[in-house]
Amino acid sequence: MSAPNRLTAPSRGENPAALATEVIGGPVGRFAAIGRRGWTYVAAMLSALASVFVALGVLQKNHCVREGWGSPGSLWRECYSDLPVAATGAHGGTPWDGAGGSQPVLTAILGWLVGQITPGGSDLSMQQIYFAIGAVIIVLLVAATTLATASIVRGTPWLAAHVALSPVLITAALVSFDMLGVALATFGLACWARRRPVAAGVLLGAAVMARTYPLVIIAAIALIALRDKQTRPLWRLLAGAAAAIVVCLGLVLVTGGNPFDPYRTWWEAKASYGAPSYLFTITHISVPGATLSIVAIFGWVMALLLGLYLTGRAKEQTQLAPLALTMLVVVLLTGKSMSVQACLWVLPLLAISAMRWRDHLIWAGVEIAYFVMVWLYIAGPSNQGKAMPAAVFSFFLIVRAIAYVGIAWAAWESSEDLPSDPLEPSAEPSPSAAAGRRFPHPAA
């Protein structure tokens, strides 16, 4: 396949995309004028299609929507979600009461706000309404992430389909409010690409206060900026991020919460589902939580060292998206947990890396298989006859880890087809100028 076709008209250049378009008439025509409506049209279309995938996620959780999210039924039917857990709490209070105290600041605030507007009633009706409101918010967050991604890859906006049309949205998007952190981080990347370092820093700092993983993105930006001797924009970005984090932590303090509770809880916690270190738990080897915390911190150090090595190579110019994805995979695989929602974190990075759909779908297939297996394993104690055997679950856990390594590796290969780094700061985005280096503008 040729790079121009794959990037500007996926249905021409990639077999999975061509097969998918058969339901709407087949691949784009040979003489079609591609790209004349601009990247905003593509972003709007993809955002609308993304809502269909989230709606399929609601359908996948139909049993819980009708019967409630009680255990073990929600586990056996693979429809568990964190969203309705807070639905039956009393109105009022603060976001840090109950389960909110273990959540990052902005995620806790969002969950609390949804709880405040959920009307009273039976436990089931409150859960249903809370889940419905949460689903609408997640649809908007996925659409916003798609828009931000398309704005980054303006010359090849169909790459944003890796966010909007990923099969993992069906299974993972409605499990929690992780999309809040993903949306904030993606908008931060878009601001960085548009030479707005302060805004990028504020958004990335806010993203850290929704989910910790955007720290990896900040670290990757710092490595690239130092390589390119862009110290002034970097300092402005770091100042913006620090300001956002301080404001969020201060908000917790003034409202009676402890901003460090989620991190203290994390330090004391033992290995959880999804992390390779959970294999010790499966084999009944007890490892103290503090030891695993030290290993996880060492994983961050390894990610930074690997990033430093990759940016220092003289043979080629390292691009930001595959670098951040590789560092994130290292952090995930050495961490204490690797939730089913972690797949959402990588979607914008896959898009910006110009991931091939073949590689994306293989990885997504592993994610969906693991999604099914983990709930069957967790529900095991309630019915040993139906339980997922520990050996089988261990196998899928290892396969999932390999899939993440594979997707990071594939990102480096696929990004070579891009004419330049989409996240390289530019004064004025010019899709035609960028695309012209390797292939003509889509509208040509």
* pLDDT given at position 429: 42
* 3-state SS, residue 44: helix
258 pLDDT higher than 90: no
Pick from 186-190, 266-270, 440-444: least confident: 440-444
For 237-246, write each residue's pLDDT tens digit. Answer: 999 999 999 9
Tokens read off for 257: 């919460």
Tokens read off for 137: 């918010």
Q: Is residue 104 part of a domain?
A: yes
Q: Is residue 15 part of a domain?
A: yes
Q: Are residues 234 and 311 in the same domain?
A: yes
More confident residue, 395 or 256: 395
Q: Are residues 22 and 148 in the same domain?
A: no
DSSP-assigned letters across all residues of 365-432:
HHHHHHHHHHHHHHTGGG-TTTPPPHHHHHHHHHHHHHHHHHHHHHHHHHHTTSSS-TTS--SS--HH
Q: Are residues 131 and 274 in the same domain?
A: yes
149 pLDDT higher than 60: yes
pTM of the model: 0.89
More confident residue, 101 or 232: 232
Q: Is residue 199 part of a domain?
A: yes
What is the pLDDT confidence band of residue 62, given thresholds at 50, 70 and 90?
very high
248 pLDDT higher than 80: yes
Tokens read off for 95: 């976001």
Q: Are residues 152 and 288 in the same domain?
A: yes
**Helices 178-193/342-352 angle, 10° precision:** 20
Range of the domain at 11: 1-34
Q: Are residues 226 and 345 in the same domain?
A: yes
* pLDDT given at position 206: 96
Q: Are residues 71 and 203 in the same domain?
A: yes
Highest mean pLDDT among 110-119, 194-203, 410-419: 194-203
Residue written as token pair 């899939």: 403
141, 222, 303, 354 from 216: Cα distances, Å:
21, 10, 8, 20
Q: Are residues 267 and 326 in the same domain?
A: yes
Over residues 292-304, the mean pLDDT reads: 95
Say if CB 376 and CB 80 are below 8 A apart: no
Rg (CA), the chain: 22
**Helices 123-152/38-60 angle, 10° precision:** 150
Q: Is residue 427 part of a domain?
A: no
For 175-195, write each residue's pLDDT tens digit. Answer: 999 999 999 999 999 999 999
Length of the chain: 444
Over residues 421-434, the mean pLDDT reads: 58
Q: Are residues 302 and 166 in the same domain?
A: yes
Read off the DSSP letter of residue 255: T
Q: Is residue 428 part of a domain?
A: no
CA distance 346 to 30: 33
Q: From the centroid of its chain, how far is CA 168?
A: 10
Q: Is residue 439 part of a domain?
A: no
Q: Are residues 115 and 234 in the same domain?
A: yes
* 3-state SS, residue 216: helix
Q: Is residue 436 part of a domain?
A: no
What is the pLDDT confidence band of residue 37, given thresholds at 50, 70 and 90?
low
386 pLDDT higher than 70: yes
Q: Are residues 195 and 298 in the same domain?
A: yes
* pLDDT given at position 432: 40
Q: Are residues 364 and 393 in the same domain?
A: yes
Pick from 55-64, 216-225, 276-285, 415-424: least confident: 415-424
Number of domains comprising the chain: 2
Q: Is the peptide bond before 16 cis (omega within 30 degrees of 0)?
A: no
Highest mean pLDDT among 12-26, 143-157, 378-392, 427-441: 143-157
> What is the percent of the chain with per-residue pLDDT over 70, rounded to a whole number?
85
Q: Are residues 20 and 39 in the same domain?
A: no
Q: Is residue 210 part of a domain?
A: yes
**Inter-residue long-range contacts of 439-443, CB under 8 Å, 24+ positions, other chains counted:** 439/3, 439/4, 439/7, 439/8, 440/4, 441/35, 441/155, 442/8, 442/9, 442/34, 442/35, 442/155, 442/156, 443/33, 443/34, 443/35, 443/36
Over residues 303-314, the mean pLDDT reads: 88
Q: What is the mean pLDDT of the chain?
A: 85
